[in-house]
Amino acid sequence: MTLFGLLRLVFILIFFGLMILFAVSGRSLPGVKLRRISAFTKLRRVIGLAVEAGSRLHISVGDGGTIGTESASAFVGLSVLERLAGSASTSDNPPIASAGDGAIGTLAQETLRSTYSRIGLSGKFDPDTGRVTGLTPFSYAAGTLPLVSDEKTGANVLLGHFGSEVALITDAGERSGNLTLAGTDNLPAQAVVFATAHEPLVGEELYAGGAYLNAGVMHDASLRTQDIFRWALIILILLGILAKFLGLDTMIENLIDELIGGLM
Amino acid sequence: MKLNFQTPISVAIAIGVGIIVLLGYFFGTNASGEITLIGILQSYFLQGAVVVAGVALLVGVFNLTAVHVKRIKQGDKAVYSLITVLALLLTLLVGAYDLAMTYLQGETGLRYTRWIFENIQLPIESSLMAIIAISLTYAAIRLLSRRLNFMSVVFSVVLIILLVGAIPAIAASDFNILSSIRNWIMSVPVVGGTRGIVLGMAMGIIATGIRILMGADRPYGG
C-alpha cells in the first residue's frame, strides 16, 4: 500500500471511529442542535399537511445508478423516501417515488415495500408507487412531469443525482404551485436548482436530510463527524495560506518529500 | 424459495461485500503489484454489480411498460401512454431487426436504430435543452421576487456580470473591465466555492458510505 493509500485508510478509520463515538455518546447526550435549513423545516410542515389534506408527496431519487459516487446522493434520497413513506403512509394518497435508473427504481420500490411492512400496512403497498419514469436524463425528466403536475401532489422532493434537466421538473413544480425541494450532487445542476426550486439544498445539505428528518442516531453522528473534519480542513487550508504568505511552503514541501522518501 | 430482504442474512451479506470492496481499494495489490485475494474478490463483486445494474435496466423497462399499460387500461391520459408503449415496441423491433441483420448479413452500425436516435431522440432532447435555456432565464428573473435574500441578490448580480462579460464585443473592446471582473470571478470565487462544495460533498458521501457499511442505512430495504 502506498503512503497516500495508508493516509486514506487512516482518514476513513478516524471518520468511522468518530461516528461510532458520537453515536454511542449521542444516546446519553441531549439531541444535536442542527442549524436551521428552511427546506427541511418546510418539508416537515408539508408532511403534516399531506396527511391532513390527503395530498400526495412525490419523491424523486434521480437518475444516478448504484455504481459510482452519484449513488450516495441516490441512497440519501432513499433514506428520505423511507422517512417520508413512514410518516405520510396514512394519507389518502400515499407517497409516490420516481427514478431514472432501473436499479435505483427497484430499490425505491423495495424501500416503500419494506417501510409499509415495518409499520404494519403491507396491504396498502402498491408496486406502482415506486416507478421508473425514464431511462435517459431527459426522458426521465419528461416522464416525471405528470407526477409533479398531478393535482393530487402536494409537494415534490427531489433528492439524488440530477443534471441540468432538473429545471424541467422544478419549473413544473413552480407552475403547479406545489412546494419543490431539490438537492443534487451535480454542481451545474445545483446552480439550476438554486434558481428554479422553491427550497434548494446546496452542497452537503443534501446529505444531511436523514438527520433533519430524524432518521436515526447514526445520521446525527455523521453530521457531528463531518463538522469536525470540516473544521480540521479549514484549519489546514488556513495554515497552508499562512505558510505560503510567510514563504515557508517550499520548505514544507521539501520536508514532506523527505518524509515520503523515508517511508517508501 | 422466497427471498426476504428483511432478514439479517441480507444485511450481513451487504455489509460483508461492502467491506471487502472497500478493503480492496487499499489491499487489492501487494508490495510487488500482484493482485491479492481481496483484490480478486473486489473485482468479482464489482463485475457482479455491473451485471446486476444491466439487468436492473431491463427491470426498469418492464416497470415503465407496466405502469403505462395500466394507465392505458384505466384510460388515464391513455394517449400519451399508448404512444410511449408503441414507441418502445417499435424501437425494440427495429433494434431486433438491426441485430438480426448484423448476424445474418454482416451489416454493421445498427442502421435503423441509429436513424431513430439521430432523427427522433436527438432532436427531441435538443428541443428540451432549448426549453431549459428559456426556463432558466425566466427562473433567474423570478428568483428575486420569489426569494429575496442576500444569496439571491449575489446570484443574480454575478449571473448578469458573467453573461454580459462573456459577450464577445465587450470582451474585445477597450472597455473590457466587465470581462476582467468576469475572469476574476471565474478563477477565484468560483474555483474556491467549487472546492468548498466538493469537499463538503465528499464528506457527505463518505458518511453515507459508512452508514451503509454499518447497516444503519439500508437502501436495499432491509
- In the predicted model, what is the mean pLDDT of chain B? 86
Domain boundaries, chain B: 1-76, 85-146, 148-215
Contacts of A178 (CB under 8 A, 6+ apart): A148, A153, A154, A155, A156
Contact indicator for B65, A107 with CB cutoff of 8 Å: no
Go through A174-183 and write b for each residue having 16 or more CB atoms within 10 A of its CB, e for each that does not. bebebbbbbb
A102/B200 touch (CB, cutoff 8 Å), yes or no: no
Q: Give, as one character, the DSSP assignment of residue B117.
A: I
Question: Could you please report the per-residue DSSP string of B31-53?
Answer: TTS-B-HHHHHHHHHHHHHHHHH
For the entire predicted model, the pTM comes to 0.87
Provide the pLDDT for residue A27.
63
In angstroms, what separates the C-alpha of A243 from chain B's closest C-alpha? 18
Q: Are A104 and A74 in contact (CB under 8 A)?
A: yes
Q: Which among A15, A78, A207, A238 is the top mutation candidate for probing chain B, defined by the most B β-carbons within 10 Å of its own β-carbon?
A: A207
Q: Which among A79, A103, A207 has CB closest to B53?
A: A103
**For residue A120, which phi and psi values (nearest 5 degrees)?**
75, 25
Per run of 10 residues, the mean pLDDT along chain A (length 264 residues) is 80 92 76 79 84 86 86 91 84 88 90 88 85 90 90 89 92 88 92 91 89 85 92 91 85 78 63
CB contact under 8 A, A19 and B198: no
Count Cα atoms within 13 angstroms, Cβ side, for B55: 6
pLDDT of residue A183: 93
Q: Which residues on neighbouring strands pair with residue A153, listed in sequence order? A: A56
Q: What is the pLDDT of residue A228?
A: 92
Q: A-chain residues within 8 Å CB-CB of B216?
A: 216, 218-219
Asked if A208 and A36 touch (Cβ cutoff 8 Å), the reply is no
Tell me the domains of chain A and their CATH numbers.
3-28+220-263 (no CATH), 38-213 (3.40.50)
Provide the pLDDT for residue A187.
92
Chain B environment of A117 (Cβ under 8 Å): 6
Give the C-alpha distances (Å, rounded to integers) separating B54 from A4, B49, B100, B188. 33, 9, 21, 41
Residue partners of A74: CB distance under 8 A and separation at least 6 = A61, A62, A64, A65, A66, A99, A101, A104, A107, A160, A161, B219
Amino acid found at A179 = L
Find the CB nearest A19 among B136, B196, B210.
B210
A-B contacts (CB, under 8 Å): 193
Q: If you measure CA to CA, which chain B residue comes closest to A215?
A: B217
C-alpha distance from A145 to closest chain B C-alpha (Å): 12
What is residue A36's three-state secondary structure? coil
- Number of CB atoms found within 10 A of residue B199's CB: 17
**Where do runs of H (alpha helix) occur along chain B?**
8-27, 37-74, 78-105, 111-116, 122-146, 150-165, 168-172, 177-187, 189-213
**Which residues of B are less than 8 Å from A16 in CB distance?**
210
Cell of A137: 436524463
Chain A residues with CB-CB distance to B162 below 8 A? none
The minimum CA-CA distance between A50 and chain B, rounded to whole Å, is 23
Contact B91, B112 (CB under 8 A): no
**What string of pLDDT tens digits covers the 222 residues of chain B?**
445 555 688 888 888 999 999 999 888 888 788 888 999 999 999 999 889 888 988 988 999 999 899 889 988 778 888 999 999 999 999 999 998 988 888 777 788 899 999 999 899 989 988 888 888 888 888 888 888 889 889 988 888 888 888 788 777 776 678 888 888 998 999 999 999 999 999 999 999 999 988 888 887 766
* A16/B220 touch (CB, cutoff 8 Å), yes or no: no
> Mind listing the pLDDT tens digit for each residue in B61-96?
999 999 899 889 988 778 888 999 999 999 999 999
Give CA–CA dist B5/A122, Å, rounded: 14
Residue A180, phi then psi, degrees to nearest 5: -120, 115
Q: Which of B64, B77, B84, B122 to mutate to test the interface with A (most CBs of A within 10 A)?
A: B64
ipTM of the complex: 0.88
| Interface contact B196-A203, CB threshold 8 A | yes
